Structures are given as structure tokens and as C-alpha cells.
Amino acid sequence: MDEATVNYYSNNASAVAARYESVASGLSASFATSFRPQSKLLDIGCGSGRDLACLSKQGHDVYGVDATPEMVIVAQSLHPELMGRIQQASLPDCDPPFNGDFDGVLCSAVLMHLPVEQLEPAANSIKRCLKPKGRLLYSVPSQRLDVVTEDRDANGRLFVPDQSDRLESIFQGIGFRTLVKWNDEDSFGRDAVKWVSVLMERQGD
């Protein structure tokens, strides 16, 4: 993952987590239809733990990883039910945590922080985490009008544009098939930001 982006989240973990917790995830409305009941799920880039807590309430066996130790601590503080279920790790080289063998992976607003050359290794890491027929749900921006200089926002975070089609092609090339793809408005109500969400399934035995 991009170093400057990780440093931003490390240095601002509490503030970022508070902001995440102030709104519902734009993907949360699709959780019930995206993942099979009582699945073992992994949230890669779990941030404040908001989505994991929501999925746990839906009856799933949930685990998470985040790139910064600061966010791991904050997430478990905000959601004590997640204690021991989150550890530090990040893409592109994320070995399957918590014994792997996941029924589903969530990757919400994370993959746009990866340089293009890291996307294929990251996709293969995600694949290794999933069982055959496991589901992958991810979202990336389809529009970030606030990112104008070298694909970075005012905080220095990397936002590589036009990741959706590139990512979908990479995942399909390593044995995923697309189930659903849709557009979402921004959870924070920002007109300059729009999202595309994709639900895929790992094929093979």
C-alpha cells in the first residue's frame, strides 16, 4: 500500500475513525444480499471496525486487517466485540490471516490507494484468502474531483483514478466472475465523490 497514505491514517487514526463512525457505510445496504448467512468474513482495510460490527450483528463470523497498528487499536476500542479479531496487515502482500478459508472478503474504499503495479499481486492475495465460490465485495471511486495533483488529495493520500474496469479485468483474469456492479453516491454527501461497487465470486475447486 502507498506509504504516504498509510502514514496519513497512522497519524490521524482517531479522527478518521470518528468520521467513519458518523455515517453508515454506503455498502452496508448490500451486505445481506452479498454474503451468504453465517459466513466467515474478512474486511481488508477495516478502518474503524464499523462494517465489521454491522456484519457481526447480521450473524457473520467476522475478522479484519488494517495497515496501521493505530487503527487496529482504535477499532477494537470502539467495538469491543471485535477484540482479538483484527490484526495489522495490508495489501498487496496479505497472507491469509486467522487461518484463512474465508467465505467472503470485503474491501471497501481501499484498492484505490494501491499503485497500479500492486493491483495484480493484491488481487492474488485476496484470492488466497477466499474459499472456492467465496464472495468478494469491493468499492472504489468512480469520481474524485478533489484529487487533481499526481493522483493525491490535500492530505497526500493516493487515489488512482479509473480503477474499476482495471480491477474487474484483473480479478476476472485470475478466476473471478462478476455477479453485480452498481454505482453509489458518497456516504458523506460530497458532490465531488462518487463510487462504483462490485460483487464477484471466486471460481474453481
User: What are the tens digits of pLDDT across the range 52-72?
Assistant: 999 999 999 999 999 999 999
Q: Which domains does the chain have, with CATH numbers?
A: 3-202 (3.40.50.150)
pTM: 0.93
Summary count for the chain: helices (H), strands (E): 7, 7
Q: Which tops the pLDDT comparison, 126 or 186?
A: 126
- Judge contact between 26 and 182, C-beta under 8 A: no
For range 9-29, the mean pLDDT: 90
The pLDDT value given to residue 90: 94
Record the cell numbers describing residue 105, joined without a space.
472478503
